[in-house]
Amino acid sequence: MASAGYATGFYCNSSNSFAGANEVDGIKEVSFDPQMADLDTTNFKDTSNGHTRIAGLLDCDVSCSGDWLPSDTPQALIRSQFFARSACWLKLVPDGTNGWSGSFLCTNFKVDPKVDGLNPFSAQFKLNAGTITVI
Amino acid sequence: MATAAYNTTVETHGASTAFTGEACSLVSGKTYQIDNTAKRVWVPSVTPTVKDNGVTVAAANIESYDKLFGKVTFVNSYTVTGPVTVDGNYYPLLTLAECRAVSAEFSVTELNTSVFGTAGVKRIAGLMDGDVEIDRLDFPDTDLDGGVGEVKLRALLLARTPLLVSIRPGGAGDYIRGWFIGVADNIKTGVDALVEPVLKLRLAAQNNVAAGIGS
Q: Shortest CB distance from B102 goes to which of A59, A82, A112? A: A112
- The pLDDT tens digits for B128-145 are 999 999 998 877 677 777
Q: What is the pLDDT of residue B118?
A: 85
DSSP structure class, residue A24:
P
pTM of the model: 0.90
Of A46 and B210, which is predicted with more confidence? Answer: B210
pLDDT class of B186 with cuts at 50, 70, 90: confident
Q: One digit per residue, pLDDT tens: chain A, 135 residues?
A: 788 889 999 999 999 999 999 999 999 999 999 999 999 999 998 888 889 899 999 999 999 999 999 999 999 999 999 999 999 999 999 999 999 999 999 999 999 999 999 999 999 999 998 789 998
Please say if the pLDDT value at position B185 is more than 90: no
Contact predicate B5/B170, CB 8 Å: yes
The pLDDT, as a whole number, for residue B149 is 66
Decide if A70 and B167 are in contact by the 8 Å CB cutoff: no
How far A6 CA sits from the closest chain B CA (Å)?
A: 16
d(CA A82, CA A18): 19
Measured between alpha carbons, how far is B129 from B18 in angstroms, rounded to an integer?
Answer: 30
B139-159 average pLDDT score: 74
Q: With a cut of 0.95, is the ipTM above it? A: no
Average pLDDT for residues B20-46, to the nearest whole number?
98
What percent of chain B has a predicted confidence (pLDDT) above 90?
75
Q: Do B123 and A132 touch (CB under 8 A)?
A: no
**Chain B interface includes A110 (CB < 8 A):** yes
Task: State the pLDDT at residue B146.
Answer: 66
B148 Cα to chain A: minimum distance (Å): 31
CB contact under 8 A, A118 and B124: no
Show Cβ contacts of residue B3 under 8 Å, excluding neighbours closer than 6 positions. Answer: A67, A68, A69, A118, A119, B169, B170, B172
Residue A41 has what DSSP assignment?
Answer: -
Mean pLDDT along residues B82-99: 94
Residue B34 sits at the chain A interface (C-beta within 8 Å): no
Alpha carbon distances (Å) from A6 to A9, A64, A124, B165? 8, 14, 21, 36
Looking at residue A110, its pLDDT comes to: 98
- Closest CA of chain A from B54, distance in Å: 32
- pLDDT recorded at residue A75: 97
Distances (CA, A) of B159 to B16, B173, B177: 17, 33, 21
* B97: chain A residues, CB-CB within 8 Å: none
Please give the average per-residue pLDDT across B154-168, as a whole number.
89
Instruction: Determine, for residues A105 and B213 on separate chains, whether the beta-carbon distance falls below 8 Å.
Output: no
| A61 near B CB under 8 A | no
